Amino acid sequence: MSGLGIAGSGRAARTFLARLRATGFAPRPAAEDLPGLKTLLLVPRDIGECETLLFEAEGFARNAPALQTIVLLATLSPRYVRALRGRIRAEIALVDAPFSGSIRAAEQGALTFFVGGRREDVDRIAPIFDRLGAKAIRMGGFGAAMAAKVMNDFLAASSNAMTRIALDWAEAQGIDEARLLDVTGETLGGLALPGDDTGGHAPAGPGGDEGVTALVREVEIALDNALAGAHLTPPRALEDVFRGLRQRHLH
């Protein structure tokens, strides 16, 4: 695939670059070949970096004359992502592809991608997902994948937080935490912590302030994605619960 470039400052971007090179592709950092850039794999850490890469310092959306496709490989606000369609010229295809998995899974090509976009656009870049992940699940049009990923993360965050509360109650009654987890079969996949660049969930125990911050963030993004007239009382109550969780590391 010619004209393939990657942009993003985090570890995930570097991992994707190395993985594609190791599996027969020849991607380059996108800024090295603006005139020849056709497919941009955008791996921003947050909305601020996405804005910088697309419209400000690098300005790929305006400064790459041959650009045909932008693939957004990150978990961002679905509302923000959908609005990108009106800010980028219509001839550039947009695909959103947030992923679930750790950096180790990325290195092994074992990620799961949620994919949104026109079918012909997704089919054209399917070989990229084949090399970067174990599974790519098409969710619908552009923006649908981001919404699905946010809902998936919200469900996982809710389960994670309720598990913490149950363990606190068990501890107060003198119940051994390890034995309780063994009986319930709880796998506790853990939430991706800020800065780990997974874009999804990672098998790292949810401990300390960063773990609580991650739980709150998942609810905030889910609320941002809610449709007009949606019932928001339970999510807002969960947000308050999450903010009050005490720090704990699972044994």
* 62 and 45 share one domain: yes
Residues in the chain: 251
* 215 and 170 share one domain: yes
* 211 and 115 share one domain: no
* 104 and 158 share one domain: no
pTM: 0.74
Using alpha carbons only, give the angle 93, 89, 113 rounded to the nearest 5 degrees. 30
* 137 and 26 share one domain: yes
Is position 250 within any domain? no
Is position 248 within any domain? no
* 221 and 199 share one domain: yes
Q: What is the pLDDT of residues 105-134, one digit of tens each?
A: 999 999 999 999 999 999 999 999 999 999
| Two structure tokens written together for 135 | 């599974």
* 184 and 130 share one domain: no
* 135 and 172 share one domain: no
Mean pLDDT of the chain: 82
User: Is pLDDT at 178 greater than 60 in this prediction?
Assistant: yes
Domain around 185: 147-243
The residue out of 110, 142, 174 marking a domain boundary is 142
Q: How many domains, the chain?
A: 2
pLDDT at 247: 55
pLDDT at 233: 67
Q: What is the pLDDT of residues 211-250, one digit of tens each?
A: 556 666 666 676 676 656 766 666 666 667 666 665 555 4
Is position 181 within any domain? yes
What is the gyration radius of the CA atoms in the chain, in angstroms? 19
- Out of 51-60, 70-79, 113-122, 175-184, pick the least confident: 175-184
The residue out of 99, 115, 142 marking a domain boundary is 142
Is position 249 within any domain? no
* 96 and 164 share one domain: no
The residue out of 104, 119, 142 marking a domain boundary is 142
* 131 and 162 share one domain: no
| Two structure tokens written together for 177 | 């935490």
Q: What is the pLDDT of residues 86-107, one digit of tens each?
A: 999 999 999 999 999 889 999 9
